[in-house]
Amino acid sequence: MKPSNNKKGEGPLLLGQRLKKTREDAGLTIKKFGELSKIQTKYLEYLEEGRYEKLPAFVYIHGFLEKYSQILNIQLDELVVQYQNEMRVALMPAKVEFVSLPSLSSPKIIITPKKLKWAAVIIVLLAIVGYFIYQLDYLVAPPKLVLEYPAQDLTINSSSVRISGQAEYSAKLTINGEQIFIDNEGRFNQEINLSPGLNTLKIKATNRFGKTSEITRQIVVAQ
């Protein structure tokens, strides 16, 4: 049996429509057809309404179509092929349309003498602010002081030791209150006399703003 049409000039019926029309033409209600086919009424309704997502696996659907074929005298192969074709269409991904957005052109920047003047003023102000921040940090920070020799808790047999290191060039450097010379590169190197036993050396740098850095070393002269 070939697929039937709704009306003359219209396309072929969908599988569910075809099954329903053929069943009704045979004078069978869906309940009566369910009794004859031993298929639950809800599955018959799903199949005739095209609600394939509600149906079980294909092996069961093939059995449903086989019952329609036997009871309503429809070619089984036609029903299976039509079902598979409709399922392929149903599973096809929806077409995605991309809408192109209008291009956004970059705003044009017009440079005028007035804008250049304001830009120069802003640059000068930023430079002044940066200078004051640098000076403020200089005022607050203690002077640089690095002691390279001697190490802490040193024991020696000599009655003197050479103190060397680096300090801020403009700072005043003292060792146990005695002022020490700092060269142009900020380095100092001074021989200090020691007494037998424990000697405590206090190296202190003081900048012109009164900020200080201090390092203490203890040296033992073996007797």
pLDDT score for 100: 59
Q: Model pTM greater than 0.95?
A: no
Please give the CATH topology (third level) of the domain spanning 15-91. 434 Repressor (Amino-terminal Domain) (1.10.260)
Give 1's pLDDT tier (boundaries 50, 70, 90): very low
104 phi/psi in degrees, rounded to 5: -100, 110
DSSP per residue over 146-201, as a string?
A: EEEESPTTEEESSSEEEEEEEE-TTSEEEETTEEE---TTSEEEEEEE--SEEEEE
Q: For the chain, what are the domain ranges?
A: 15-91, 145-221
Give 34's pLDDT tier (boundaries 50, 70, 90): very high
The answer to whether 206 and 172 are in contact (CB under 8 A) is: yes
Please give the CATH topology (third level) of the domain spanning 145-221. Immunoglobulin-like (2.60.40)
Please provide the average confidence, as pLDDT, over all residues in the chain: 85
pLDDT tens, position by position, 147-157 = 999 988 889 99
The answer to whether residue 9 scores a pLDDT higher than 80 is: no
Give 141's pLDDT tier (boundaries 50, 70, 90): confident
10 Å CB burial of residue 194 (0-12, 13-18, 19+) is: middle
The answer to whether 167 and 143 are in contact (CB under 8 A) is: yes
The answer to whether residue 183 scores a pLDDT higher than 60 is: yes
